[in-house]
Structure 1
Amino acid sequence: MKRLILAAVLAVSAPSAMAHEPAVAPASAQAVDEAAAPAIAVVDAFHAALGSGESDAVLALLTEDVMVLEEGGAERSREEYAGHHLPADMAYAAAAEAEISRRVAWVEGDIAWVLTEGRTGGTFNGRTVDRLTAETMILHRQAGGWRIRHIHWSSRAPT
């Protein structure tokens, strides 16, 4: 129960994330359950695929019923995400550099939570980007391994 409360607090109060290609966080900035390592590998593979424009690889890491929350909107399936934000997310991930400042992750049964805070910078669509980011990913362990069932990205300008 404490972990669910922590996840809710972090999801509501953490700085936001539109960044999609994290770098490795210093060990001191991580609070990671060892059992979460395979789920984290899926999150990192997702970001790598976004950054390299590999849409098939991105989609293979999502459940069919994935829920993606971003910029106040919702995409309620893998198909909907593929037809809407995926191309823009790949373009952004390819253009922006991301750095992880903090990551927490844990597993309970067949569910894993990976919560990441960071910062993105660079140039996108001719504009300078500097955003503090937060990302929540909830993964479900299935017969074929971990798949992303929920993504919530938000971001804000640094203060």
Structure 2
Amino acid sequence: MRRLLPAAFLALVAIAPASAFARSSVPVASVPVASVPAPSAPAAGANASASPAAREAAQVVDAFMTALASGQLDSARQLMAPHAVVIANGHVLGERDAYIDGAAKADAAALGSVPRELLRRDARAGSDVAWVLSEKRLHTGAAQGPSEVVVESMVLARTTAGWKITHIHWSGRHG
């Protein structure tokens, strides 16, 4: 699954340390954050007993992934703190702007065509910090090899503008 997962995260493992999910690049659309839908109900495997703050943080994670998968990179950028760090499969992809202006383009292209299934979600939040751990199956289809399972952890900080992602770590395995 060298196309999606290796050095390419969420579909994501290896292609090049510069990308988390990469396959090819795709034109980027600029859409305001408000236009990125967040799931209204917890997905299967979601931690339904999470606190309201933890659920809010999880909604930011979902909005980020929706924006990324649909190529709305400016919207994804707005959900991250300026010094957020992105790591995938042992490679530091960079801080927010370096990631969004670089590897995120290939990740968006890869994620846009790969069905994803949430297998598990845990979220916890304090007054100013939250973390969201998700395990997802990427259904890549026979042409791209077996499905991949991606473990995603995100740390968020509460700001005056709401929760912002400060750290992303993706790793994957054949599933």
| TM-score with structure 1 setting the length | 0.78
- Name the structure 2 match of 1:145: 162
- Name the structure 1 match of 2:99: 81
Q: Please, which of 72, 75, 80 is the counterpart of residue 54 of structure 1?
A: 72
* Structure 2 stretches lacking a partner, 5+ long: 1-8, 12-20, 22-38
Q: Please, which of 70, 92, 115 is the counterpart of residue 110 of structure 2?
A: 92
- Name the structure 1 match of 2:10: 18
Partners of 2:140 and 2:148 within 8 A in 1: no
Runs of 4 or more, structure 1, over 3 Å off, are none
- Name the structure 1 match of 2:148: 131
- Name the structure 1 match of 2:140: 122
Q: What secondary structure, in the 3-state scheme, does the structure 2 residue paired with 1:149 have?
A: strand
Give, in whole Å, the separation in 2 of the partners of 1:145 and 1:129. Answer: 38
Partners of 2:86 and 2:169 within 8 A in 1: yes
Calculate percent identity across the aligned residue pairs. Answer: 35
Determine which structure has the larger helix proportion and give its number. 1
Determine which structure has the larger strand proportion and give its number. 1
Per-residue deviation, 1:123: 4.8
Q: Deviations over 1:119-157 (max 9, x none)?
A: 111359x62451011000000111111110000000000
Aligned partner letter, 1:95: S
| TM-score with structure 2 setting the length | 0.71
Q: Deviations over 1:40-81 (max 9, x none)?
A: 111110011112111110111111101101021113311111
Aligned partner letter, 1:74: V
Partners of 1:68 and 1:75 within 8 A in 2: yes
Give, in whole Å, the separation in 2 of the partners of 1:147 and 1:129. Answer: 33
Aligned partner letter, 1:127: Q
- Name the structure 1 match of 2:89: 71
- After superposition, the Cα gap between the structure-2 partners of 1:80 and 1:129, relative to the gap in structure 1 and judged at 3 Å, is farther
Give, in whole Å, the separation in 2 of the partners of 1:117 and 1:48. Answer: 16
Per-residue deviation, 1:34: 2.9
